[in-house]
């Protein structure tokens, strides 16, 4: 749902001179399928073994009891992510300015909560206005 | 269209109702709530990179196996970086 919502703001993001990139531990065969299915105009990068998420300090290990539950649903992260330790990134959305400084950070351990893309757009507008001053 | 959070809430409500098409057992939902609460309690959110921190530069492969570098992207302008746990 979040990727579709980001897709809806992408053209406006581009008008502001900004970009969107999605980072996921999923392997390329799955990102390729997802990208095609959702008809996205931004890239999804494969963060193999969570090297990027580690640098943003977002990585956690699923507890055994949850791993077993997901397995019972048929979700096997070792296959999708080549991640036998069942580690995942917390969902997070960052806005980084062109100097590489984080200007907005939305990080939530509860994966059912996400910031609105319309808010992200407003934050980019504010950044672009500040840059024009 | 409804807000993203509204749609997420609607999905959560449908999933947690235990009704079709998900038919999620009550114990499974309890387990998921417990895991989220435990993760929050570790303080992991506070340890993640924050506003004002320098973002690490990164390089990885796109869905089309094109190598993408964050430094190149930032040269074009600000960047929204979204961490996504997966489609599963």
Distance CA B5, CA B17 (A): 18
Q: Give the pTM.
A: 0.90
Answer yes or no: is pLDDT of A77 > 70.
no
Q: Does domain A2-121 have CATH number 3.40.30.10?
A: yes
The backbone torsions φ and ψ at residue A93, rounded to the nearest 5 degrees and listed phi first, read -130, 125
The ranges assigned to domains in chain A are: 2-121
Sequence-distant (6+) residues with CB within 8 A of B15 are B22, B24, B29
How far out from the chain centre does Cα A122 lie? Answer: 19
pLDDT of residue A45: 97
Largest CA distance in chain B: 49
The question of ipTM being above 0.90 is answered as yes
Chain B neighbors of A100, CB-CB under 8 A: 54-55, 57, 74
Q: CB-CB: which of A72, A102, A108 is closest to B49? A: A102
pLDDT at A85: 74
> pLDDT band at residue A16, thresholds of 50, 70 and 90?
very high
A&B contacts, CB < 8 Å: 229
């Amino acid at each position: 749902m979040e990727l579709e919502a980001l897709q809806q703001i992408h053209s406006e993001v581009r008008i502001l001179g900004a970009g969107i990139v999605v980072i996921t531990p999923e392997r390329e065969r799955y990102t390729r399928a997802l990208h095609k299915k959702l008809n996205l105009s931004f890239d999804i990068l494969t963060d193999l073994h969570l090297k990027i998420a580690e640098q943003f300090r977002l990585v956690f290990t699923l507890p055994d009891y949850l791993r077993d539950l997901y397995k019972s649903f048929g979700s096997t992260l070792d296959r999708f992510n080549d991640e036998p330790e069942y580690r995942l990134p917390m969902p997070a959305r960052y806005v980084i300015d062109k100097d590489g400084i984080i200007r907005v950070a939305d990080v939530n351990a509860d994966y059912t909560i996400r910031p609105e893309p319309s808010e992200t757009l407003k934050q980019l507008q504010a950044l672009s206005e500040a840059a024009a001053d | 269209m409804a807000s993203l959070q509204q749609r997420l809430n609607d999905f959560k409500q449908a999933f947690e109702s235990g009704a079709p098409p998900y038919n999620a057992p009550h114990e499974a939902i309890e387990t998921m709530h417990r895991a989220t609460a435990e993760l929050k309690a570790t303080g992991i959110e506070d340890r993640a990179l924050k506003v004002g921190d320098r973002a690490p530069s990164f390089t990885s492969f796109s869905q089309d196996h094109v190598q993408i570098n964050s430094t190149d992207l930032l040269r074009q302008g600000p960047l929204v970086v979204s961490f996504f746990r997966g489609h599963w």
